[in-house]
Amino acid sequence: MSENRVDPTVAGLFLVGLITLFFGLLGVLLWNENAMGADLLVYITGIGAGAANGILVAFALMFVLFAFLAAKVGNAFATALFAFVAVALFSVTIGLIASSFIAFLIIGVFFIVFALVAFLIGAPKLLAILLALTALLYIFVGVFVNAGNNGDDPLTFALLFGVFGILAGAVATYMAVALSTEKLPVF
């Protein structure tokens, strides 16, 4: 019996798409004050923070598993990327607890660095775009969290992280479908 190993990159990309799409839709809902935006904001920053952290920790553990599986099949870039995403998600839980702009900013900068590395090593350009969009998502989540402290309108930043989240979710989902079907181009 031959051993058939599947690269976990597709599953990881689907999960990245799911997470970023969730953040994107959350941002758009927060921006739309007429459609439960204020109630959702109270829920997320109050009672829902514990549940959100639990979900993020579960996602982080899934990325640890994907990183392990990617290492097992010899995909070094996916291993490093998924391990970093796991660390980033664990860091987001700390950022949510501390309402820290700095935690989100640091994660965003690391995603920018990963985007540059992906571009420089010749990874598909869509991967670099996905990482850059994810960086902008985290940066604007941080700005959103900090906006109330500066007297700025946080809803503008909610819309920005919503748009970047939806775009990142679309790119990640496209890449996952393209890699799994091998019928769509991955630039």
Query: If phi over 0 gives left and psi between -120 and 50 gives alpha, with beta otherwise, what is residue 67?
Result: alpha
Residue 185 domain-assigned?
A: no
Positions of E strands within the chain: none
Residue 75 domain-assigned?
A: yes
Residue 187 domain-assigned?
A: no
CB 93 within 8 A of CB 99: no
How far is it, in rounded angstroms, from Cα 23 to Cα 55? 13
Give the count of domains, the chain.
1
Q: How confident is the model at residue 1 (pLDDT cuts 50, 70, 90)?
A: very low
Average pLDDT over residues 165-184: 89
Query: pTM of this prediction?
Result: 0.79
Range of the domain at 148: 9-180
Residue 164 domain-assigned?
A: yes
Q: Which residue has the tokens 């540059």?
A: 116
Q: pLDDT at position 2, please?
A: 43
If one compares 160 and 81, the residue with the highest pLDDT of the two is 160
Estimate the crossing angle of helix 9-31 against helix 76-98, to 10 degrees.
30
Task: Give the number of other CB atoms < 10 A from CB of residue 44.
Answer: 16
Average pLDDT over residues 149-156: 74
Summarize pLDDT for 23-79 with one digit per residue, the tens: 888 888 777 764 554 555 555 555 455 666 777 788 889 999 999 998 998 888 788
Q: pLDDT at position 129, please?
A: 93
Residue 186 domain-assigned?
A: no
